[in-house]
Amino acid sequence: MSAYPVPMYPTILFGAFDRHNFGDLLFPHIAATLLQDTPVLFAGLTAVDLRQYGGHQVQAIARLASEWKKSPVNLMHVGGEILTCDAWLAAVMLLPPEQVQSVIARFDNKPAERLGWAREQLGLAGLAPYCAPRTLFPQMNHMIYTAVGGVDFSDYPAEFRAEVISKLKEAEVVSVRDQQTLSQLQPNGIDARLIPDPAVMVAELFAPQIRHHAQSADMLQIKNACPQGYIAMQFSADFGDDKTLSTIAAQLDNVVTATGYAVVFFRAGAAPWHDDLSCYQRVASRMSAPAAILFESLNIWDICALIADSRLYCGSSLHGRIIAMSFARPRVNLCHSVQRDGMTKQAAFAATWELASLPATVVPETMTQGILAALAIDRSALQRKAHDLVQRYRQGFTALCAGLKP
């Protein structure tokens, strides 16, 4: 029997899982599994089939709004840093990679035309498209925001912030995933709840599926090539300048010498402005240690298996860290030197939920120190933290769903 109310209305799961980004692709799996017998629809800003990557066949929310405008529905925003994703950013990330540079050049220094193009691409008005207005579904029963983020919300223009706040006030319940986001919404009259990111549930809900992917030919090849174990390493394309790559290579050589572990590079996102395989090829070519492997699969379950079987995760992806947390693996996030003292989404999540003894973020120049410190953390403490986050998320999700009509 379902642990949550089973509504007679479909629940639309809405989020940025309409592009290849590791965490976003996981969110609808988690929500649909926890809702169990609830009928669900998967909606993004555009229609796309991402099943080859372990994602979903996604429908455009504008199309769903037209189809369901006279019928009762529930709407669940399923997570992610959606409170600070503007229309231009959203539209560009949904483009085929080969079109990105020409579109950016076309609208350079043309903010009004740029916004008009983005709205046309998405089929939606507004500045913050991943926050759905209640008017999209006039017969809506219940609207929920599930552990969303927006750590630099206060830095956005007043008009953008006002739109987001107005939309949040239309929801029955709002929850956020970090204290930094919470502290920026409260002065604006948003009584949000604080719960962990949904991805803390991955090991709890999908361990058998991930173990199956751990037996793939690619994973078995990695295990055979790394008898002492490996570090799962990832970073976004904005770390791709020559100086930074040389620094990362030297730091990873130090780690390999100190531990005997290999290094396996993977992409946590292939959408525009995410990760670039060529950056990994360039950093591997700079390493002296021979044990540097490129893992090319973009399937989210393969990526989960890679992190779950690693000795440690290090990278810029927040969800790389959270999946490592879920499987009780040591972890540390990589940030740019200019972000060292700032509150990034990675630092904000760690400050809210992470073990105090575990490094939150490191810059490229201090990777060796941070990785070795994380590896020294007692495994039982990591396991207790994973269990605690599962319990906190279950409790929070149950409360969020209390208003769904049976």
Contact 169, 51 (CB under 8 A): no
**Positive or negative, the Cα torsion across 340, 344, 346, 348?**
positive
Q: How far apart are CA 91 and CA 251, in angstroms?
A: 36
Using the structure block, give the residue that is written with the tokens 């950093």: 283
In 295-377, which residue ranges form alpha helices assigned H by DSSP?
Answer: 300-308, 318-326, 345-353, 367-375
For 234-261, write each residue's pLDDT tens digit. Answer: 999 899 999 999 999 999 999 999 999 9
How many angstroms separate the Cα of 372 from the Cα of each of 7, 46, 284, 314, 359? 49, 43, 20, 11, 10
Helix/strand/coil for 124 = coil
The pair phi, psi for residue 186, each rounded to 5°, is -55, -45
**pLDDT mean across residues, the chain:** 93
- 190 touches 165 (CB < 8 A): yes
State the average pLDDT over residues 286-310: 94
Separation of alpha carbons 97 and 383, rounded Å: 39
- Strands lying side by side in the sheet with 361-362: 292-294, 262-265, 230-234, 312-315, 331-334, 361-362
Element (H, E) at 144: strand 142-148
Neighbouring-strand partners of residue 148: 80, 176
In this prediction, residues 36-46 reach a mean pLDDT of 94
Query: In what helix (H) or strand (E) does residue 28 lie, and over which residues does it extend?
Result: helix 22-35
Report the half-sphere exposure of 309 (CA within 13 A, side-chain side): 27
Has residue 311 got a pLDDT over 60? Answer: yes
180-201 pLDDT per residue, tens:
999 999 999 999 999 999 999 9
- Domains of the chain in start order, with CATH, are 11-194 (no CATH), 201-388 (3.40.50.2000)
Q: Between residues 338 and 347, which one has the greater pLDDT?
A: 347
Per-residue pLDDT reduced to its tens digit, 63-96: 999 999 999 999 999 999 999 999 998 998 898 8
Band of pLDDT at residue 405, cut at 50, 70 and 90: low
pLDDT tens per residue, range 147-167: 999 999 999 999 999 999 999
What would the two tokens of residue 152 be?
């630099």
Quote the crossing angle between the two packed helices 300-308 and 217-225, to the nearest 10°.
30
pLDDT at residue number 96? 87
- 3-state secondary structure string across 154-203: HHCCHHHHHHHHHHHHCCCEEEECCHHHHHHHHHHCCCCEECCCHHHHHH
Please tell me whether the overall predicted TM-score, pTM, comes out greater than 0.75 for this model: yes
